[in-house]
Structure formats: structure tokens, C-alpha cells
Amino acid sequence: MLNCRDVGTNATEFLSGALPIKTNLLVTWHVVRCANCRRAVIQIITMLIALRKREAKPVSEEQVQAWLQALEEHNHTHPH
């Protein structure tokens, strides 16, 4: 049986789906029943989402610039 510390040390792996399915089930079972760990897991999820947003933003901006540039080049070579 897992205790709160076990869940805490496995939380990141649990959320990234890196745990073996049996451990994953034990962590899920604990988190469902334990308000402390549920709160901790929610905090980690929020953090992960924030990190992902920060990483994704420059990529999408770059992509938009690339699209605009491609559009512009297209208009130059094929004027309407």
C-alpha cells in the first residue's frame, strides 16, 4: 500500500504516464481517497499546464511569422 510520501515522489511520473500500470492504479486509488495528495496532484497539473503554455507560445508565434512570410512571398510571386 502506498502512503502520501510514495505518492508525492511518484507524482510527476504518475502524471506523465511513466509509471507501471499497477503502480499507476495504486497512486490513483490513493489520490481518490486522500485530499492532501489530491491537492498536491492538482498543483502539479496546474504547474505542468503553465510550463507547457510557456513553451508552446514562442513556437506558435514563430509559426505564425513563417506563415505570414510564406503568404507574402506567395503574393509577390503571384500578384492578383
- Helices marked H in 1-80: 4-16, 21-33, 35-77
Considering the rule CB under 5 A, would residue 56 count as an interface residue with Zn ion?
Answer: no
Structure-block grid coordinates of residue 69:
512570410
Considering the rule CB under 5 A, would residue 37 count as an interface residue with Zn ion?
Answer: yes
Structure-block grid coordinates of residue 62:
514563430
Considering the rule CB under 5 A, would residue 4 count as an interface residue with Zn ion?
Answer: yes
CA 49/CA 47 separation, integer angstroms: 5
Considering the rule CB under 5 A, would residue 34 count as an interface residue with Zn ion?
Answer: yes
Which range in 11-19, 37-45, 52-60, 64-72 contacts Zn ion by CB under 5 A? 37-45
DSSP single-letter state for residue 19? S
Considering the rule CB under 5 A, would residue 42 count as an interface residue with Zn ion?
Answer: no
Q: Give me the residues that bind Zn ion (CB under 5 A), please.
A: 4, 34, 36-37
